[in-house]
Structure 1
Amino acid sequence: MKVYIKNMVCGRCILVVKSELEKLGLNILSIELGEVTLSKPISIEEKKKISKQLEPFGFEILDDTNSKIIEKIKNILIDLIQNKNNDINVNISDYLKDKLRQDYSKLSNLFSDIEGISIEKYFINLKIEKVKELIVYDELSLTEIANLLNYSSSAHLSNQFKKVTGFSPSYFKKLKENKRIQIDQL
């Protein structure tokens, strides 16, 4: 049985969810971003116990179909940004259509209606948060970051960064408090 969990967006999240579910004695067949496959169906009472166990960590079980689809879209895009830099140059609509096996216009409309932002803008926001992370780490030049995230140039990256954040990348780097948004807050 698949259980969909909101805000499970990174490797540490997976470890926390796995640990908490094991504390409840549940047998996990597989676990990935936003999704846990259990060896057997769970009762409503067990679902309540899981919710109570995960709530202090900011996770929540998703029950309705639309929320599950939205969470899948977010997790696919987060995974793309965090783990698959070589695939970032793909067309997002084709990528999501292939991954979810659904019509992209339906996915796009659903996402926009529920989240109040287009999938494309959400993806840009994810990329900018990744840029912020890389700027804070201070290991790569802006040109290297632009190449890593498949921007056509560092100028394009700078323009998009300024449009989203209001700051140039160089000014952001100089800030004493580099305020990044956690991915699960996007």
Structure 2
Amino acid sequence: MKLYIRNMVCIRCKMIVEQELKRLFLHGIIVELGEIEILENATAVQLDELNTALLKYGLELMDCRKSILIEKIKKVIVEMVHYIDDPEKINFSNYLSKKLNHNYTYLANLFSETVGVTIEQYIISHKIERVKELLVYNELSLTEISYKMHYSSVAHLSNQFKKTTGLTPSYFKKLGTHRFEGIVNP
């Protein structure tokens, strides 16, 4: 039995779902971001209990086809931005269309109508969150981060970062470094 879950976007979410499945004596064959496959056909009571438990963590079972597609779009974007380390340029619209087997215009219109932001805006917000993580880790230079995150230049990354956060990447990095120093050396 395949189930779809809204807002399931990280490894912690997967752990929560696995924990709740075990609690309900359901056996997850596959637990991926946004979807799970269980061995049994869950009863209505089990599904209701699972949904109630998941709601406590901001997760929710879905049954509407459009909602499921929206969550799949979000999942693919999260995977593209946070988990694909391929330095080659990715054409997001082609990648989404191919991965989800739908016309990009349809996906973009559905996403905008439902979520209230464009796919491009959603991608940018996730890219900036990823850039923040990489800046705080302090393992890569801004040039390397720009390349890794598929920006055309450091200037493009810096402009988009400032437009989104109100801060320059270097100032953000400085703030993050001071925050961590304060934790280590109170």
Q: When the two structures are superposed, what TM-score results if normalisation uses the length of structure 2?
A: 0.89
Kept in 1, the 8 Å contact 2:136–2:176? The answer is no
Which residue in 2 is equivalent to 1:160? Answer: 160
Displacement after TM superposition at 1:44 (Å): 2.4
1:27-176 to 2 correspondences below 5 Å:
27-86=27-86, 89-175=89-175
Kept in 1, the 8 Å contact 2:87–2:147? The answer is no
Gaps in structure 1 of 5+ consecutive residues: 180-186
Which residue in 2 is equivalent to 1:16? Answer: 16
Identity value in percent: 47
Number of residue-to-residue matches in the alignment? 179
Kept in 2, the 8 Å contact 1:26–1:38? The answer is yes
Displacement after TM superposition at 1:42 (Å): 2.4
Displacement after TM superposition at 1:46 (Å): 1.8
Q: Distance in 1 between matches of 2:178 and 2:13?
A: 23
Displacement after TM superposition at 1:178 (Å): 9.4
Letter in 1 for 2:145: I
Kept in 1, the 8 Å contact 2:3–2:62? The answer is yes
Kept in 2, the 8 Å contact 1:5–1:35? The answer is yes
Letter in 2 for 1:13: C
Mean alpha-carbon deviation: is it higher for 43-52 or for 82-91?
82-91
Q: Distance in 1 between matches of 2:82 and 2:176?
A: 25
SS of 2:78's partner is helix
Displacement after TM superposition at 1:47 (Å): 1.3
SS of 1:86's partner is coil
Moved over 6 A (4+): none
Which residue in 2 is equivalent to 1:182? Answer: none
Displacement after TM superposition at 1:76 (Å): 0.7
Q: Distance in 2 between matches of 1:63 and 1:156?
A: 40
Displacement after TM superposition at 1:88 (Å): 6.6
Gaps in structure 2 of 5+ consecutive residues: 180-186
Structure having the higher Rg: 2
Q: Distance in 1 between matches of 2:52 and 2:113?
A: 29
Mean alpha-carbon deviation: is it higher for 20-29 or for 106-115?
20-29
Mean alpha-carbon deviation: is it higher for 38-47 or for 137-146?
38-47
Letter in 2 for 1:90: I
Q: Distance in 1 between matches of 2:178 and 2:92?
A: 29
Q: Distance in 1 between matches of 2:71 and 2:177?
A: 30
Q: When the two structures are superposed, what TM-score results if normalisation uses the length of structure 1?
A: 0.89
Displacement after TM superposition at 1:39 (Å): 1.6
Q: Distance in 2 between matches of 1:138 and 1:90?
A: 25
Q: Distance in 2 between matches of 1:126 and 1:88?
A: 18
Kept in 1, the 8 Å contact 2:112–2:118? The answer is yes
Kept in 2, the 8 Å contact 1:80–1:88? The answer is no
Kept in 1, the 8 Å contact 2:136–2:177? The answer is no
Name the Cα RMSD after superposition: 1.9
Displacement after TM superposition at 1:10 (Å): 1.3
Q: Distance in 2 between matches of 1:176 and 1:121?
A: 24
